[in-house]
Amino acid sequence: MKYKYLFTDFHSNIHHDQMDQLDEWYEQAKEMLDFWPIAYYPYYVRKDKCGIPLEDIHPMEIVQEDWEKINTFVKNKNEENKQFPIFNGYEWQGAGLDGDHNVFFKTTGPLVNPMRYEQLYNKLKCYDAIAIPHHLAYCLYNRGKNWETNIEEFSPFAEIFSSHGSSESGDTDIHMSRHIHMGPRTGGTSVFDGLKKGHKIGIIASGDNHVVAAQYGHGFAGVLAEENNPEKIWEALLNKRVYGMTSGRVKLLYEINENVMGSEIQTSDKFLEHHIAVETQEAIDRIVIYKNGNPYYTYSHSENWIEKKLQEKITFKFKIEFGWGPDLKIYPDMKEKKWSGKLKTEGKIKSIEKCWSSRGQWINKIDDSSCEFGLTTRKTTQSGKWMGPSPVTTEGFVFEIEANLNSEITFEIDGQVFIKKISELLKNTDLIVFLKEAKALAKERFNFEEYYRNDPFYHNAYKVRIMKGKPQIAYKIDKRIKLDFHEDAFYLVKVYGTDGSVAWSSPIWVKKSN
């Protein structure tokens, strides 16, 4: 069966006070995704009569009014545009004893808020509804997943990664330390804990974003569906033909004996053929096949391409990021910058992937060899302390280009022209620093022109980073591996990128027959 790769975000939480932004969220989702499940967030922080702030669900009259708006919105948009399906859904937390879940409907259904997961299932089992657990690896009975109450037909897959971090296991290689109030991560509630307990669940990643749909770098879900329509998407979800990725679009196919991820199979074979086909936006470092939740076989890809001589005509990918700029502690009014740009190659643009963190971005492909774009970059900070944590928000693209190795790419950024040789892009990461503009800003604001080092100017300069280009052999593989088979087991693959990105397949469950 030939499947389409569909990309989505099962966890973009729109709040009551954002309901007037539904159209804006929809337009952003349409730019970034192939279909969009809305996860309405009916909760808010209220002050108790004693004065303590508490998260609680809005009064139900407000919630039901919002829910009606979302149902009407979904119905109208699906009638207007059948090429971009959307689904209605909401976040359910209950008493926090069973873990948080996002509920989605194939068509429509009621928003109900019982205290326990089993009660939620009983109220919704007559509808086409699923409930997807997220940030599972928090503490049991304190918003972490309670596997003792899980119902597989209701929760066919789980969210292994989001803006919270990784819920793969209690000691995995990706942090889960964003939220001090919900953390730290622990054992017993994670995705791998559930799998090892015998639960047959698929794996996705998704954002848990509350300000914009489909924020790059917070996780996306991949779905293998026959077509991009509600019927075929829902069929893929129920059959666990899903996978997760931390950032960027990853095309991932995992099969055992030609049975796709999410399958349950039985065989008397002494060997299993694991088929892994992957295409990432960054170079693939290694692929690990897990058996029963433990590393079982590792294929190291980096050593197989890194020293290979490149052909004269090459297909390659590179990422370009825009942002940085004036420190808000020094220039508090400079919270965003609008960029305009063009790219032209002597070859051919094969694909463009949007790496967008917020609204206000656009790109137009002029022809096979050129495009123009506009970006708005914004700054965020979680600490006012000097040297405190200050996550950088950038906007950008991943370009895939086919061209001659010795040809050039021309960038025009804010009216300035920069010419880069492809052979040089493939050697190392490059940086464009708008130092002259930063010096002019210091002169204008502070009448400041000289210092014994460049910090006051460089630290406040806008920058464009052109990441090292990677040839196709680095980011695209199709591999078959034969491994011994002696006992019942579940298998899944984990793909590591050289940039720290990760993708997980859903498992395949294999039973030994006589």
The β-bridge partners of 358 are none
Q: Is the pLDDT of residue 386 over 70?
A: no
pLDDT-derived band at 387 (thresholds 50, 70, 90) equals: very low
Length of the chain in terms of residues written:
514
Task: Round to whole Å and give the CA distance between 63 and 453.
Answer: 56
CA distance 214 to 424: 33
Summarised one tens digit per residue, pLDDT across range 175-225 is 998 888 899 999 999 999 999 999 999 999 999 999 999 999 999 999 999
Is residue 390 located within the same domain as residue 455? yes
> Would residue 386 count as lying in a domain?
yes
Residue 375 shares a structural domain with residue 448: yes
Percent of residues, the chain, with pLDDT higher than 90:
92
Which residue from 118, 203, 225 is spatially nearest to 156, judged by alpha carbons? 203
Task: Label the pairing between strands 165-166 and 89-92.
Answer: unpaired
User: Looking at the structure, do residues 118 and 204 belong to the same domain, yes or no?
Assistant: yes
Residues 125 and 16 in one domain: yes
Looking at 28-32, 161-165, 255-259, 301-305, which range is the least confident one? 301-305
Q: What is the pLDDT of residues 9-50, one digit of tens each?
A: 999 999 999 999 999 999 999 999 999 999 999 999 999 999
What secondary structure does DSSP assign to 16-32, as a single string? Answer: GGGGGGHHHHHHHHHHH
Residues ≥6 apart with Cβ < 8 Å to 105 = 87, 88, 89, 127, 128, 129
Least confident of 87-101, 108-122, 298-312, 464-478: 298-312
Residue 298 lies in a domain: no
Q: What is the Cα–Cα distance from 364 to 349, expressed in whole angstroms?
A: 12
The gap from C-alpha 7 to its chain's centroid, in whole angstroms, comes to 9
Asked if residue 296 is part of any domain, the answer here is no
The answer to whether residue 374 sits within a structural domain is yes
Whether 366 is covered by a domain: the verdict is yes
Whether residue 168 is found in the same domain as residue 285: no
CATH number of the domain enclosing 502: 2.60.40
> Residue 82's pLDDT is what?
96
Count CB-CB contacts under 10 A for residue 213. 27
Task: Kindly give the residue spans of alpha helices, DSSP state H, lying in 33-83.
Answer: 60-80
Residue 305 within a domain: no
CA 178, CA 164: separation in Å to the nearest integer?
Answer: 6
Same domain, residue pair 263 and 325: no
Interval 436-471: pLDDT, tens: 999 999 999 999 999 999 999 999 999 999 999 999
Q: Does any domain span residue 299?
A: no
Taking the C-alpha atoms of residue 139 and residue 188, their distance in angstroms, rounded to an integer, is: 8
Residues 170 and 267 in one domain: no
Q: Per the structure, how many domains does the chain have?
A: 3
302 occurs within a structural domain: no
Where in the sequence is the domain holding 416, given as residue range(s)?
Answer: 313-425+430-466
Residue 445's H or E segment, with its range, is: helix 435-446
Whether residues 215 and 273 fall in one domain:
no
88 and 107 together in one domain: yes
The answer to whether the beta carbons of residues 267 and 460 sit under 8 Å apart is: no
Burial of 449 (0-12, 13-18, 19+ CB in 10 A): exposed
In a shared domain, residues 411 and 492: no
> What pLDDT shows up at residue 336?
92
Task: Report the CATH number that the domain containing residue 25 is assigned in CATH.
Answer: 3.20.20.140
The reply to whether 259 and 240 lie within a common domain is: no
Residue 195 phi/psi, 5-degree rounding, is -65, -45
Whether residues 165 and 80 share a domain: the answer is: yes
Tokens of 95: 């008493």
- CA-nearest of 386, 420, 391, 415 to 403 is 420
Rounded CA separation 114/57 (Å): 11
Query: Which tokens hold the place of 489?
Result: 């087991």
